[in-house]
Amino acid sequence: MINLIWRNKIGRATKFYRLDIVPGLFGDWSLVHEWGTIGEEALTRVDWFQTEAEAKDARFAVHMEKAMAGYE
């Protein structure tokens, strides 16, 4: 699981983004995205992949995208 945090420059707004890879029931894999403002209910999206390697590649791509946007 990857947990990322974003803070604005004055430290008031704090957002999170969480990525987790989960095996499916039929040999497939999912990449679960959860995001939102800390202290509030999260939004969730699930992307499905045929292999764990594909899910890991997608997780890496999202992780790098969020890092470029200022998430730590």
Helix (H, G, I), strand (E, B) or coil at 59: helix
> In angstroms, how far is CA 18 from the centroid of its own chain?
4
Whether 15 and 37 have beta carbons less than 8 Å apart is answered as yes
* Domain limits for position 21: 2-68
Residue 17: Cβ-neighbour burial (10 angstroms; 0-12, 13-18, 19+): buried
- How many domains does the structure of the chain reveal? 1
Q: What is the pLDDT along the chain (72 residues), one digit of tens a residue?
A: 999 999 887 767 799 999 999 999 999 999 999 999 999 999 999 999 999 999 999 999 999 999 999 999
Q: What is the pLDDT of residue 9?
A: 78
Q: What is the pLDDT of residue 11?
A: 67
CATH number of the domain that residue 57 is part of: 2.20.140
pTM of the model as a whole: 0.89
Q: What is the pLDDT of residue 23?
A: 98
Q: What is the pLDDT of residue 45?
A: 98
Whether 48 and 28 have beta carbons less than 8 Å apart is answered as yes
